Amino acid sequence: MTSQLAFVVGLIVLTSVCDTVNHLGLKVCANAVDIEVAGLRSVARYALRFLRLPLAWVSIFFALLSLFLWLYALTKADLSLAFPIDSMHHVFIALASRFLLREFVSWQRWLGTGCIMAGIVLVTMSGLAA
């Protein structure tokens, strides 16, 4: 039971890493596309310009990888267990935003991120008890 939980948590960590790569790619692409979005036609134009970037497809690949890892994790765990643990991507995203995209991350945001980590520990413990 314990090794089963460890396997599920490992799967979810992998899912979160793939998800982080996906979102980083999306943000870099979004920064590169300078079309003002107002109305349906500009959304379509935005999407087309977006999909012409090679990095967008790297993002999509990692999104798909993340999806099937996630589906596999869900064959082994309750949604109410797996989903909160998946909030680990917030931690990865905060780190990546700060150190890869060089965005400003305030100390409150770090504190909140720590709180999220503590919540993940409790939810994982609830999986041990089940």
Partner 1 sequence: MSKRGVPLAILGVLFLNEAVDSVAQYCFKKTALAQGHPPIASLHEAAAFVGAALGSGYLWLGLAAVALVFVTWITVLSKIDLSAAMPVTSFSYVFVALASRIFLHEAISPLRWSGIALILIGVAIVSWGEEGEGGRLP
Binders of partner 1 among residues 30 to 69 (CB under 8 A) are 30, 33, 37, 43, 46-47, 50, 67-68
Binding status of residue 23 toward partner 1 by CB under 8 A: yes
CA distance 48 to 42: 10
Q: What are phi and psi of 103, to 5 degrees?
A: -80, 160
By CB under 8 A, residue 120 contacts partner 1:
yes
Contact 60, 47 (CB under 8 A): no
Using CB under 8 A, which of 6, 10, 52, 71 touches partner 1?
71
**C-beta of residue 129 within 8 angstroms of C-beta of residue 122:** no
Which residues are CB-contacts of 128 (< 8 A; sequence separation ≥ 6)?
1, 2, 5
- For partner 1, the binding residues (CB under 8 A) are 23-24, 26-27, 29-30, 33, 37, 43, 46-47, 50, 67-68, 70-72, 74-76, 78-81, 83-84, 87, 90, 93-94, 97-98, 101, 103-109, 111-126, 129-130
